Amino acid sequence: MDKRLGVMEKSHKIIKRRVKKMKVEKRLTSLEEHQRKLIRTAKKQKIIEERLDGIEKEMKRKENENHDDFQYQGMNFDWNLRRSDKK
């Protein structure tokens, strides 16, 4: 009888260890899946940020081009189409 109890206790301990291992492995796999998702979303965010930076640079470049095309006139411009600084 004692032998049977000893064997049952050992098998019970082994089963407990296996169940514990399985739980830990399940947690690890779920953590790894979440980590993969986070990495994917981080990559997407980085790509979106790069696109936005590109768009902002393009807008600034266009804005600067618009300012460069406009020729500023002197502050002392005579509206009779004569410059007042020429004498």
Instruction: Report the pLDDT value the prediction gives residue 16, as an integer from 0 to 100.
Output: 93
Residue with the larger pLDDT of the pair 78 and 8: 8
User: Which tokens sit at 36?
Assistant: 């993969």
Total count of residues recorded for the chain: 87
8 A C-beta contact, residue 87 and residue 76? no
| pLDDT tens column, 40-75 | 999 999 999 999 999 999 998 888 777 655 555 555
Neighbour-count burial for 50-82, b at 16+ CB within 10 Å, e otherwise: eeeeeeeeeeeeeeeeeeeeeeeeeeeeeeeee
Average pLDDT, the chain: 82
Stated pTM of the model:
0.51
Percent of the chain whose predicted confidence (pLDDT) is above 90:
53
Q: How crowded is the C-beta side of 16, counted as CA atoms within 13 Å?
A: 6
Instruction: Report the pLDDT value the prediction gives residue 36, as an integer from 0 to 100.
Output: 97
Please name the residues in contact with 76: beta carbons below 8 A apart, sequence gap of 6 or more: 83, 84, 85
